[in-house]
Chain A
Amino acid sequence: MSKFTRRGLLKSSAVMGAGLAMPTLITSPVAAYTNEPTGGSVTLGFNVPQTGPYADEGSDELRAYKLAVEHLNGGGDGGMMNTFTSKALKGNGILGKKVEFVTGDTQTKSDAARASAKSMIEKDGAIMITGGSSSGVAVAVQGLCQEAGVIFMAGLTHSNDTTGKDKKANGFRHFFNAYMSGAALAPVLANAYGKERKAYHLTADYTWGWTQQESMQQATEGVGWETVNTVLTPLATTDFSSYIAPVLNSGADVLILNHYGGNMINSLTSAVQFGLRDKQVNGKNFEIVVPLYSELMAKGAGANIKGVFGSTNWSWTLGDEGTKAFVKSFGEKYGFPPSNAAQTVYAQTLLYADACERAGTFNPCGIGEALEGFEFDGLGNGPTLYRKEDHQCFKDVLVMQGKEDPANEYDALEIVEITPRAQVEYAPDHRMFAGGSLGKCNPGA
């Protein structure tokens, strides 16, 4: 009689299964963090708008990312790696692993941006996500990266909220913010236009617009200006004539356009068409201010931008060695100078790679520690600090003005003042940035 019973078979199978699995359980390394690289390469995720209204900015960011990857892998002339004060990067990838990348299309929509970031993390194994040309998108993707346990190196995002109420331990911003624009611009405006001015704000109705208006209002009122009216305009607006017409008889003598991208081009065009810049109000010339400039948008606004003040994070016309190196690399590769969106994402990629090298790991918590409080120079903005308390970079801010006689389409703006870092600094618990907390770094896995 056979002793082979069903119960016996199950017991034997269980023991055999456990036995077979044992070596795997003992020898397989447990991932210490999300997408820990195991092969000879490491994948970065570049999440930029490739379609939608900011696609041109996204294209410029992508060019800069590709250049950064080339330089990290030892190709090209090395660009800003040669001028960066930290010398941890050796041109052999990151921690000896070749840098590869995948790209995603944010479409300048939060849900699409989250979906593409999620796909890059889960399917492509991206260990870091970077990019963006909209604060709404940046805040959404930063939240996702925090949950997923990867680092988010923000691209072009200017809302105070990104490193204010929506800040996250896994998120880092190199770009300046709305508060800094206000702090840099207000003294220049007071100097150019006087301290007794009446301002009318037109503001894009979303997170960036709100914080930009609040920052400009506080800063200009601080130098003695009066705010006559503030009007929110829907983001989808294309014809601003209905919003410009009431400005004419409002008593205001300055129009502040808290608009960006296509909004800025169209609202500025309408304002100029309505003759605002030829008008005299309260015995003064009527003036227009655009707090956040971009070279690509300035190009779109054409001659309307002449003489108009604004601010940028960086300009290719700066004379420091880092800027010269980057402009040379970028210009020789692509045939035109880089935008400040391109510079910020290039700098962010280098900063991430450098932090990995200094930390000796790709673990987000190690990288976070390496970036927090990190002081550096040579990336185009002068001495810069990545503040520990909110992961915001502090550096000089540029006040720009539309050039009266541009030599070519890339020469629309000129630097009026390099506002020193000390003038745009604020306390981490400043009321415009209050309400959120970094929380703890999340390595995921």
Chain B
Amino acid sequence: MDSLLLQILNGLDKGSAYALIALGLTLIFGTLGVVNFAHGALFMIGAFCAVTFSRILNISKVTLDPEKTNFLGKPLEIKTPYVVDWFGDATGSAIIDWAVPLAILFAIPVMLLIGYVMERGLIKHFYKRPHADQILVTFGLAIVVGELVKASYGANPIPTPAPDVFRGSYDFGVLMGMDPNAVIYPFWRLIYFGFSTVIIAAVFAFLQFTTFGMVVRAGMADRETVGLLGINIDKRFTFMFGIAAAVAGLAGVMYTPINSPDYNMGMNFLVLSFVVVVVGGMGSLPGAVLAGFMLGILESFASMNEVKAFFEALYLPSIDQIVIYLVAIIVLLVRPRGLMGRAGVMEE
């Protein structure tokens, strides 16, 4: 029971990241008809927004301590962040400690700008090209972005911790009358799940309850007719690309305390998120979210030792690595449009 609960929590947590990235992928596919393989790179850029913001907060003035020496026997350099120097030790240290949540404010304009430049500068030239061309150019872009990040930040993961107050775990076991420590779950992962839920709800509310969103939805259903009504739907779709980039970026910012970011993290999520989109239904926003959480939970269950042992007995080793793809194959065979996809999409 406790193991099951833990894996459900794990699945929700993993599913949060899948759902956020898949939501952005679907938004772009649904509006612009582009299969954006650079979307994982946007997630990674978001994570590096947090790293960059943290480094900005840690820019320090250097003084030499003549009484202490470094490894070469020279006077030791003492670094004091300017933030600490300006605001005092307590406030300055607290600002640095909260670098990741504060990086959201930094990441939103950066990601909107990157999304805009990416769409106007490159992707719009591929709207009328085959999907294969779109995949090739966006995948190439993802590789270029990854290498640029590596050249600037190095290849090793960079620790970007959560604020001290969120370190540690919450004891669900005690809450449910179980033994202490039976079901514990890290605070930050719970926050990540909550954050994802809020972002997903905000995107849906924006599309559902605003005039802008209504026009976008109309454009997704019938682009030509909306255009004939004199509405510049392309402009709105470009804005939606920016929104999708910002969603991926925010998912990346908040993910940094969970796994230290490196230049390759986007690629790790991209393929899985693309599978999530296909399973949920290409162009279906609720489908992307549902499939994200569902596949996250499924993947977590598949990694349980008991489940793995069961499948190994059936000559299916490493079920945890293939379960998502197995589900994708089954869905594509039985219901090619995906769980919540529109009739006709991917069914020709």
Contact = CB atoms under 8 A, between A and B. Distances in A.
Interface of A: 51-56, 229, 231, 234, 236, 238-239, 241-243, 245-246, 248-249, 261-262, 265-266, 269-270, 273-275, 278-280, 296-297, 299-304, 316, 327-328, 331-332, 337, 410
A273 B169 contact: yes
A331 B156 contact: no
Given A55-B150, A273-B189, A249 B182 contact: yes
Residue with the greatest number of chain A CB neighbours at <10 A, chosen from B154, B157, B299, B305: B157
A246 to B, nearest CB: 5
Given A238-B265, A238-B268, A245-B3, A337 B156 contact: no
A279 B184 CA distance: 10
Q: Chain A binding site: helix, strand, loop or mixed by DSSP?
A: helix
B157 A300 contact: yes
Residue with the greatest number of chain B CB neighbours at <10 A, chosen from A51, A299, A300, A410: A300
Nearest to B76: A407
Contacts of B188: 273
Contacts of B154: 55-56
Interface string B168-203: 110000000000011011101100000000000000
Interface of B: 2-3, 6-7, 10, 13-14, 71-72, 147, 150, 154-159, 161, 167-169, 181-182, 184-186, 188-189, 258-260, 262, 264-265, 268, 299-300, 303-305, 318, 320-321
Nearest to B179: A249
Given A53-B264, A246-B305, A331-B72, A274 B169 contact: yes
Contacts of A278: 168-169
A245 B155 CA distance: 28
Contacts of A280: 181
B299 A242 contact: yes
B7 to A, nearest CB: 6
A56 B155 contact: yes
B268 A56 contact: no
A231 B312 CA distance: 13
B67 to A, nearest CB: 14
Nearest to A261: B156
21 contacts: A52-B155, A53-B155, A53-B262, A55-B155, A239-B259, A242-B299, A245-B300, A246-B304, A246-B305, A262-B156, A265-B159, A274-B185, A275-B184, A278-B168, A296-B156, A302-B161, A303-B159, A303-B161, A304-B159, A316-B71, A337-B71
B181 A279 contact: yes
A229 B305 CA distance: 10
Nearest to A54: B155
B157 A275 contact: no
Contacts of B168: 275, 278
Given A51-B150, A241-B13, 9 more contacts: A56-B154, A231-B305, A245-B7, A262-B157, A273-B188, A279-B181, A296-B156, A304-B159, A327-B72
B259 A410 contact: no
A300 B150 CA distance: 14
A275 B300 contact: no
A60 B150 CA distance: 15
Contacts of B167: 273
B318 A234 contact: yes
Contacts of B3: 245-246, 249
Contacts of B185: 274
Contacts of B7: 242, 245
A265 B259 CA distance: 8
B186 A275 contact: yes
Contacts of A301: 159, 260
B181 A248 contact: yes
Report, nearest first, the 4 A-B pairs whose CB atoms are least far apart. A302-B159, A55-B155, A242-B303, A275-B169
B317 to A, nearest CB: 10
Contacts of A52: 155
A300 B260 contact: yes
Contacts of B186: 273-275
A297 B155 CA distance: 11
Contacts of B169: 273-275, 278
A248 B258 contact: no
A198 to B, nearest CB: 15
